[in-house]
A and B are shown apart, each in its own frame.
Chain A
């Protein structure tokens, strides 16, 4: 068994107060490991996104503990949390959230710029990551001129540009057709996942389950099952 990248213990999150109080996540505990691609699967409203936010230092749980690389992230100050997200976690948002007014390479460079890397060096590094995702030739185009799959790959390049140990994908195939979605996840599995990196993917797209090492099933804010995935390897 590889080292645990993160360990969630009895995470609880509710929204609202009194009669309007609604539990989004109830007593969720799990571990994710380096070198693993863990899928979190469940229907809408099952608490996937809330859980994703709590394990990535974005949403503070009401109770429970979240250890990432043996560090309790919810004991960190807001600045330390920002640094944690910048240095340890890479995000690929469902809608990509690329900046339409910046070029593709500038989009990829954003985490590096936030890490205070000098502009030209950040651009050079970003070009290398664009090369990894096969979009070097599109570096100076605006993201809106790229296809959905290409935009997804730009978002992946941006997420890995700061060399994070943990990658978070939120519904990575939701905006893509089935074939493109599978290609993207296949690419991530082959090229982005390393023994020193843990990838967590929130999805309800069963067509890509074959790429998961494990699949954690959620419903009503609880984990209702943890099963081995297809672990498709070439």
Chain B
């Protein structure tokens, strides 16, 4: 069988024009599919960046909340109630809100402010400069050094600025797992300072963060919170809720799906048409092989190998090209929201397998139908 496949390989790659056209078609399709799904994955991940960075197991929120940024303040008694539920190890408040910073240069810059529980500082980021205790210092804020850091004029420890006409000072510089989606810098401070600096409604708690004693307690905690008219979601459930919002309620998901389908159709058209032409041009040769004693299944293996080899090579090139483009874009635009996930890779692979399958099906049908007698008759 290896010899027959080697023949198939040589027939394919030695037809340089068609092989190149096949690769271009598949590479182009994989590139577009991967780019679209990677951008979408990047957007979805960044949309949940606060959930990822804070890392709480359970988030309590108003049921009408769909994204982290659009939090609806909840009453303080929910925090007390949460602490009294069986199975809760501890529960802390989290403030999440937007503010405007006036930099030393006089420039205004929108920021996200996260206020951590004063006692535990649960959800604090990993500091790369400064001491976490300094967050309790007067006017102390921690700045996240991510792609948006430069928008605060690259602050250093001790840099001063104003938040809503309140004086603030940088006491720490931190790093986080995931950057935000909306291109604005993030600041961390204590919960009490956050609600003091930022105008709030009657209720001040954006989320109650719960750590259960064990995972078995989670259903009970969710049930008890539900009885209070609020929603308790695990970290993954909250991220899924955010993803669902962006996928189905913003038009983003449909646009990405449409682009992916178009990429697939374009790739299928180019490679399917090219492969079909390749088979047509070699049809008599396949007939000659049949006449010489090749069995039908051996010809099918040849075609499947040719389609599979083209598909896998195009897949590799497409993924490589998408990786290069994303890496290049991130060098120029650090906040570029795209990431290639295993899901993207598997999705693109499935698309390529379908392209190869349809292309080879067309070829196999033609080759199976060719009769060796036609070779003599021609």
Chains A and B bind each other: yes
Of B6-14, B163-171, B199-207, which binds chain A? B6-14
Closest Cβ of chain B: how far from A108's Cβ, in Å? 12
In the complex, how many angstroms separate the beta carbon of B4 from the nearest chain A beta carbon? Answer: 6
B52 within 8 A of A: no
Contact A122:B3 (CB < 8 A) given known A93-B288, A93-B376, A95-B378: yes
In the complex, which of the residues A59, A87, A99 contacts B293, with contact meaning CB atoms closer than 8 Å? A87
Known contacts A101-B15, A106-B10; 5 additional CB pairs below 8 A are A85-B291, A97-B375, A111-B293, A113-B6, A119-B2
Set B15, B289, B373: member contacting A58, Cβ < 8 A: B373
Asked whether, in the complex, the Cβ of A113 is within 8 Å of the Cβ of B375, the reply is no
Cβ contact within 8 Å between A49 and B376: yes
**Is the CB–CB distance between A52 and B7 below 8 Å?**
no
A49-B376, A97-B284, A118-B3 given; A102·B293 CB < 8 A: no
Interface string of A107-122 (1 = CB under 8 A from B): 0001101111111001
Asked if B11 and A170 sit within 8 Å, CB to CB, the answer is no
What B residues does A53 contact at CB under 8 A?
A: 372-373, 376
Smallest CB gap from A54: residue in B = B373
* Set B290, B296, B373: member contacting A59, Cβ < 8 A: B373
A-B contact pairs, 8 of them (CB 8 A): A58-B291, A78-B296, A93-B288, A111-B293, A113-B4, A114-B289, A114-B292, A119-B2
B376 and A102 form a contact (CB under 8 A): no
B285 at the interface (CB under 8 A from A): yes
Which B279-301 residues have C-beta < 8 A from chain A?
284-285, 288-296, 298
- CA distance in complex: A84, B291 (Å): 10
Asked if B365 is an interface residue, CB under 8 A from chain A, the answer is: no
Q: Summarize B's interface: helix, strand, loop or mixed.
A: helix
Q: From B287, which residue of chain A is reached at the shortest CB distance?
A: A97
Judging by beta carbons under 8 Å apart, are B376 and A110 in contact?
Answer: no
The number of A-B residue pairs with CB atoms under 8 Å apart is 84
3 closest A-B pairs by beta carbon, nearest first, are A86-B293, A101-B14, A97-B288
Query: Does B377 count as interface, using CB distance less than 8 angstroms?
Result: yes
Q: Which residue of A lies closest to B372 (CB)?
A: A58
Would you call A31 an interface residue if the criterion is a C-beta within 8 Å of the partner chain's C-beta atoms? no
The reply to whether B3 and A102 form a contact with Cβ atoms under 8 Å apart is no
A83 contacts B7, C-beta separation under 8 Å: no
Assembly CA distance A59 to B287 (angstroms): 13
Pairwise interchain contact A82-B375, C-beta atoms closer than 8 A:
no
Other-chain contact of A83, B14, B293, B376 (Cβ < 8 Å): B293
User: In angstroms, how far is the closest chain A Cβ from the Cβ of B3?
Assistant: 4
- B235-294 contacts to A, CB under 8 A, are 284-285, 288-294
Produce 1/0 per residue, A67-97, CB < 8 A to B.
0000000000011001111110101011101
> A111 contacts B292, CB within 8 Å?
yes
Q: B292 touching A86 by the CB < 8 A rule?
A: yes
Partner of B6, one of A93, A115, A119: A119
Please name all residues of chain B whose beta carbon is closer than 8 Å to the beta carbon of A89 when the two chains form the complex.
Answer: 293
**Bound-state Cα–Cα, A114 to B286, Å:** 13
Contact with B along A123-167 (1 / 0, CB 8 A): 000000000000000000000000000000000000000000000
Could you tell me the distance in whole angstroms from the C-beta of A126 to the nearest C-beta in chain B?
A: 12
Q: Which residue of A lies closest to B13 (CB)?
A: A101
Nearest CB on A from B347, distance (A)? 34
Chain B residues with CB below 8 A from A87, complex form? 293
Residues of A within 8 A of B15 (CB): 101
Which B residue sits closest to A86, measured CB to CB?
A: B293
Closest chain B CB from A62 CB (angstroms): 14
Enumerate chain A residues within 8 angstroms of B288, measured Cβ to Cβ: 91, 93, 97
| Most chain A beta carbons < 10 A, residue from B7, B15, B285 | B7
